[in-house]
Amino acid sequence: MKNKMKINHIKQRTRNRKNIFLLFAAIIACALVSSCDEDKPDDIGGTDVAFGITYKNSGGIEMDSLLPADYICSFPQQGGSLYFYVESNVGKWKLSPGEGHETWVEIWPAEGKGDGRFGIKATPNTSAYPRDYSINLLNSAGQVMGSIPVYQDPAPPSLAINYSTTPKFVSSLGETFVVKVTANIAWQATSNDSWITIGEVTDSTQQIVIGQNPAVQREGSITFSMIGVDQSVTMYIKQLDLANDFSNATKVTVADLLSRVGPSGVGTINDNLYIEGYVISDRSKQALAKTQMIVQDESNKGVWIEFTNADDNTFNLNDKVKVHMYGASFILDTSSKASKVESFSPSFVHDATPTSGITPIEITELVNLAQYENALVTLKEVEFPLPFGTYVNITETYYNKKPANWTATAEPFADDTDNYGHLVRDKKGNIIRMYTNPAFLDRFKILMPWGSGSLTGIVMKRVKNNATSYFIRIRNNEDNKVSADKNTALSRDIMQLGPWPNNTVALSSITAYIGTGTLKYTGRVNQNVLTSSSAEAFYYVASQARMAPVELNPDGTPTIAYNNNLSYWGINTQYWWGNPSSSISGGSSGEAWVITTSTMNATGPGAVYLQFNSSSSTSGPAHFTVEWAEAENTPFNQWNHVANYTVCDINNSQQLMQYVFKLPDAVKGKSNLVIRLRVNSQERATLNGSNIGTSGTNRLGFIRITQLKN
């Protein structure tokens, strides 16, 4: 007896069934038909198989449509899902990948019995080539009863190389280097000049060999072409002549070199010059990107050099080097807007010799740091006013990524996901930040120390929200000599709230860990803290700050993977605007955190500071005012203004950013001091013009009020 598959003509009929499969786009029909001449096993109950697709017609009525034999299941480049039904009397059946199977197609469920349903999902196609696939339907004996052809459109062709349009300078003696190619299509490199040779090639790299130049400076190019598409990228090369070779270069100081570039930080060195200095960056700890090297000399100036490839940077901390600067192109870094040399060739770095390094510049006050940009300094006596977590307290699954809800409008107020900033304070109260990045291999080495001491690192510049600031970046944990002994701190505690070590203890109120004080919210009568999300109370949210150090594996991942139980917790609450339960606005304006404490022990000349960390949800509040009074029921217009600040949307920063405010001397000696962090604008934290949502939240992770001891 022979198996047969009956081909059904297209027909439609209404069915009364639950809408369990939804189509995400216009229905693209698929059909499955073929025949098999194998003998039918006795346990197969029939031979008829038909396939169709479920959709809703213009009247919203669910319809089933059987499909003809010549249809192909087609997906757009972006991918998507389609859902099908089976009418069958072959008993048990299974869908199995056929020839050309790839992981880009998923089938669910992959088996059934009699009549049934299944879905096909295609992931986005990043290749410039279309792809196809075949899904086989098998009966219980494993016989192929038919196939579904699947097709997906290609992505637009693309090709990029890791060099800009600025010409790459190469030595007159010649050199060999590698160009990294990112493409979704087959490509080839072609030399446009006889002295440029195309070397070994892989799917993503192209070796280039430059011969010795016997005559004058020359220019050439290489074309990287997409095969089958009339598109290409050109790389330009300039090779020095002997007159401009390193052997004939004139030595200058880094200070002299930078003066030739000028205050804009942008320009090209057209004279045959070289500098001699010390590598002050530590590539082994990845405090900077692997492509970055900073060289400083005795003029107390440093220069930021950016290699094209990480493999080009083979120079170690404290190496003394001579750097040929002829043709060096200074640009402004896209992120920080600081000046750097781009696309630098390692063949321009000569005579690297290990040494004990350059002596850091000692600084006793955190002022006028612009003069030390890209130089190694030691901050002599400093403390961390908010010693929270480890060096990097960023959501670990979002390192260097832009979350889906990232907004460009909030970016000026965010540290994004590629830097974490700890506050650093000197004994006179001057404040800067110490930034570390998620690639830093000492990022979980210690918990932040509570005492004081010296801090060594590189002074670097950044422009954020049209404001220029200077910060310090340590190179390794050994640069941090701040003591863990709290008795050595430059300030003393008046009051501390948090950080909270777990989220399993419900609280009737939030009270101080150190000193006396409470934390309240003006939007409700009850001030209790719950262990799960609630619109009626405070609740805990993880602060993404580890409570204990952890070592790293050789691949840079922590030996103990992060989970929220390893993190400190913050206090979260919602309904920040128009809250009818408000105790300050009657529902007509913004709500406030209310911090109550006593400053009777705050005597002497030392300044008093409020410091905390905070973030908001996507629809939470952005703009706050810090203000104080001696009673919580002080009339609205009689509160004393301290400062305004903007809190970042957590989806931009994936961290609780740190804030510090110097309080006026008038707050000293108060038996009852009340500080409000009050929302002063209806704009939400995405800063895109939308209003705060009723479920939008703000979070505080750690609050301290301190007084300098001097």
Q: For strand 292-296 and strand 567-574, is the pairing parallel, antiparallel, or unpaired?
A: unpaired
Tens digits of residue pLDDT in 317-363: 999 999 999 999 999 999 899 999 998 988 899 999 999 999 999 99
- CATH number of the domain encompassing residue 690: 2.60.120
pLDDT computed for residue 321 by the predictor = 98
How many whole angstroms separate alpha carbon 15 and alpha carbon 622? Answer: 51
Q: Are residues 38 and 95 in the same domain?
A: yes
Domain contains 195? yes
Kindly state whether residues 655 and 531 are assigned to the same domain. Answer: yes
- Asked if residue 396 is part of any domain, the answer here is no
The kind and range of the H/E element at 610 are strand 608-616
Give the C-alpha distances (Å, rounded to integers) separating 216 from 172, 219, 504. Answer: 9, 10, 75
Q: What is the CATH number of the domain that holds 34?
A: 2.60.40.10
346: its two tokens: 């390692």
Domain boundary among 105, 133, 152: 152
In a shared domain, residues 107 and 180: no
Q: Is residue 616 a contact partner of residue 696, using CB atoms and an 8 Å limit?
A: yes
Q: Are residues 142 and 93 in the same domain?
A: yes
d(C-alpha 76, C-alpha 272), whole Å: 55
Burial 261-292 (b: 16+ CB within 10 A, else e): beeebeeebeebbbbbbbbbbbbebbbbbebb
Same-domain pairing of 642 and 669 = yes
Q: Answer for the pair 661, 610: CB distance below 8 angstroms, yes or no.
A: yes
Nearest C-alpha neighbor of 344 from the set 368, 327, 321, 365: 327
Round to whole Å and give the CA distance between 161 and 664. Answer: 55
Taking the C-alpha atoms of residue 564 and residue 243, their distance in angstroms, rounded to an integer, is 62
Q: How far is CA 530 from the centre of its chain?
A: 31
Whether residue 183 is contained in a domain is answered as yes
Q: How far apart, in Å, are the Cα atoms of 331 and each of 198, 279, 288?
A: 29, 20, 18
Q: Is residue 413 part of a domain?
A: no
From CA 280, how far away is CA 377, in angstroms rounded? 10
End-of-domain residue from the set 217, 243, 269: 243
pLDDT of residue 36: 32
Asked if 222 and 208 touch (Cβ cutoff 8 Å), the reply is yes
CA distance 372 to 381: 18
For position 102, what pLDDT does the model report? 65
Do residue 41 and residue 133 come from a single domain?
yes
Q: Answer whether 617's CB lies under 8 Å from 650's CB.
A: yes
The tokens describing 544, both together, are 């993404």
Please tell me the predicted confidence (pLDDT) of residue 215.
87
Q: Is the dihedral of CA 411, 415, 419, 425 positive or negative?
A: positive
Q: Is residue 189 part of a domain?
A: yes
Sorted by sequence, the CB contacts under 8 Å of residue 109 that are 6+ apart come out as 116, 118
Q: Take residue 403 and report the two structure tokens written for it.
A: 């979350």
Are 104 and 133 in the same domain? yes
Point out the residues of the chain with pLDDT beneath 50.
1-47
Question: Of 182, 209, 243, which marks where a domain is finished?
Answer: 243
Tokens 């045959």 sit on residue: 272
**Statement to judge: residues 577 and 606 lie in one domain:** yes
Residue 207 and residue 273 in one domain: no
Is 137 a member of any domain? Answer: yes
Asked whether residue 176 falls in the same domain as residue 145, the answer is: no
* Cα 363 to Cα 432: distance, rounded to the nearest angstrom: 13
In this structure, is residue 387 part of a structural domain?
no
Residue partners of 3: CB distance under 8 A and separation at least 6 = 35, 36, 37, 38, 39, 40, 44, 47, 139, 143, 145
Looking up tokens 């920040």, which residue turns up?
A: 576
Distance in angstroms (rounded) separating the CA atoms of residues 314 and 352: 10
Is residue 362 assigned to a domain?
A: no
Q: Is residue 652 domain-shared with residue 681, that is, in the same domain? A: yes
Structural tokens at position 608 = 């008093």
CATH number for the domain harbouring residue 291 = 2.40.50
Give residue 157's pLDDT: 97
Model confidence, pTM? 0.75
Cα–Cα distance, 181 to 196 (Å, whole number): 18
597-629 tens-digit pLDDT: 999 999 899 999 999 999 999 999 999 999 999
**Exposed e or buried b for every residue in 665-679, given b needs 16+ CB within 10 A?**
eebbebeebbbbbbb
pLDDT one-digit tens code per residue, 111-144: 888 888 888 889 999 999 999 888 888 888 888 7
Reduce the secondary structure of 142-196 to three states and give it as a string.
CCEEEEEEEEECCCCCCEEECCCCCCEEECCCCEEEEEEEEECCCEEEEECCCCE
Where in the sequence is the domain holding 289, given as residue range(s)?
249-353
What pLDDT score was predicted for residue 41?
Answer: 35
**What separation in angstroms does the CA of 283 have from each of 353, 381, 462, 557, 705?**
16, 27, 21, 17, 38
Judgement on whether residues 283 and 345 belong to the same structural domain of the protein: yes
The dihedrals phi and psi of 23, each to the nearest 5 degrees, come to -90, 135
Domain count for the chain? 4
